[in-house]
């Protein structure tokens, strides 16, 4: 069994129209702040921290999240995930998220920043009850490198598998390998350097919802390249390309605002941490 650099186990449950902590355990280079309530919706918010400030060669991380039926969790990070040089090994993170009936997990971490000569592999295994809600995003933006070429990390491999009632429903992968791929070419990043991904699942998301969201995003971000696709379940995937991290973050926040307006209007739009 691999030695873990950081482990975090977090479960929440519903009590009296409010989501409250259940089981919390962490050790090593993963920690979690105390629960916060940022509005009157009953949703609980947790910030994940890495006290070391970044991921190093050979690091291994494990995150386990359980959302009980009808509970609502907003999960985010305190700062960007910085992947420093990994000359001998690679960094690996495994996330397992389970969401019960009518439960909800909003997972909006800060960007992943791979630096020169780094390799980062992330696996997310998401288990949903049939009427669970899930909203999750990722942004990859290259870190500073001595040559200023922008693509000097060796690999970023982000795999998400989403199961509904234990059956695989969606598999999504972002695989960036600058040494063997022309990331600036057609069909890849097409001259841009940063990529954002989003998965939104809700029993009431349909083609009409996606069409309305697409029009909103076109009006607000006319210069961004993005695409929306209906999933084989009630949900959608989004992929966006850009050169401005803040603009990609604003795109994700606009998607979350649209989600709240449709399904939970009493929530506020969560603000940045800095």
Q: What is the pLDDT along the chain (274 residues), one digit of tens a residue?
A: 578 999 999 999 999 999 999 999 999 999 999 999 988 899 999 999 988 889 999 999 999 999 999 999 999 999 999 999 999 999 999 999 999 999 999 999 999 999 999 999 999 999 999 999 999 999 999 887 766 666 788 999 999 999 999 999 999 999 999 877 777 666 677 778 899 999 999 999 999 999 999 999 999 999 899 999 999 999 999 999 999 999 999 999 999 999 999 998 777 766 555 5
Domain-embedded: residue 273 = no
The SS3 of residue 139 is strand
Range of the domain at 162: 6-263
Confidence at residue 272, expressed as pLDDT on a 0 to 100 scale: 54
What is the strand order of the sheet 91-99 is part of?
Answer: 18-28, 6-15, 60-67, 91-99, 119-128, 155-164, 167-176
Burial class (CB in 10 A: 0-12, 13-18, 19+), 92: buried
The answer to whether the beta carbons of residues 79 and 51 sit under 8 Å apart is no
Helices (H), the chain: 207-220, 245-263
Confidence at residue 186, expressed as pLDDT on a 0 to 100 scale: 66
Domain-embedded: residue 115 = yes
> Helices H, strands E: what count in the chain?
2, 17
Give the contacts of 8 (CB within 8 A, at least 6 positions apart).
25, 26, 30, 31, 32, 48, 62, 63, 64
- What tokens were used for 48? 């994940």
Cα separation, 193 vs 183, whole angstroms: 8
Q: Bin 214: left if φ > 0, else alpha if -120 < ψ < 50, else beta.
A: alpha
Q: Model pTM?
A: 0.93
Confidence at residue 104, expressed as pLDDT on a 0 to 100 scale: 98
Domain-embedded: residue 269 = no
Cα–Cα nearest to 5, from 52, 75, 66, 40: 52
Domain-embedded: residue 272 = no
- Give how many domains the chain has, as a whole number: 1
* Half-sphere exposure in the Cβ direction for 154 (13 Å, CA): 14
Domain-embedded: residue 268 = no
- What tokens were used for 68? 């009980």
Distances (CA, A) of 173 to 117, 159, 176: 21, 4, 10
Distances (CA, A) of 169 to 128, 162, 166: 10, 6, 9
Domain-embedded: residue 197 = yes
The answer to whether the beta carbons of residues 256 and 106 sit under 8 Å apart is yes
Domain-embedded: residue 160 = yes
Domain-embedded: residue 225 = yes
Confidence at residue 274, expressed as pLDDT on a 0 to 100 scale: 52
Q: Which residues partner with 95 through β-bridges?
A: 63, 124
């Amino acid at each position: 069994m691999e030695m873990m650099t950081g482990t975090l186990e977090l479960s929440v449950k519903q009590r009296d129209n409010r989501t409250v902590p259940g089981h919390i355990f962490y050790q090593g280079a993963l920690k979690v702040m105390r629960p916060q309530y940022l509005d009157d919706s009953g949703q609980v918010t947790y910030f994940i921290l890495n006290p070391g400030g970044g991921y190093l060669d050979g690091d291994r991380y494990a995150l386990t999240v359980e959302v009980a039926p009808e509970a609502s969790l907003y999960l985010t990070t305190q700062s960007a995930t910085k992947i420093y040089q990994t000359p001998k090994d690679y960094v690996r993170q495994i996330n397992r998220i389970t969401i019960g009936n009518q439960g909800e997990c909003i997972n909006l971490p800060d960007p992943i920043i791979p630096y020169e000569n780094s390799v980062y592999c992330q696996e997310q295994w998401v288990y949903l009850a049939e009427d669970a809600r899930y909203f999750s995003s990722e942004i990859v933006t290259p870190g500073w490198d001595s040559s200023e070429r922008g693509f000097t990390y060796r690999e970023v491999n982000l795999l998400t598998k989403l199961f509904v009632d234990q059956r695989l429903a969606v598999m999504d992968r972002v695989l960036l390998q600058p040494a063997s791929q022309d990331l600036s070419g057609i069909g890849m990043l097409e001259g841009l350097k940063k990529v954002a991904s989003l998965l939104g699942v809700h029993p009431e998301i349909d083609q009409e919802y996606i069409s309305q969201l697409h029009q909103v995003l076109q009006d607000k971000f006319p210069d961004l390249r993005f695409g929306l696709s209906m999933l084989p379940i009630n949900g959608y995937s989004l992929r966006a390309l850009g050169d401005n991290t803040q603009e990609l973050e604003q795109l994700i926040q606009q998607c979350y605002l649209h989600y709240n307006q449709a399904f939970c209007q009493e929530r506020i739009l969560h603000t940045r941490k800095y």
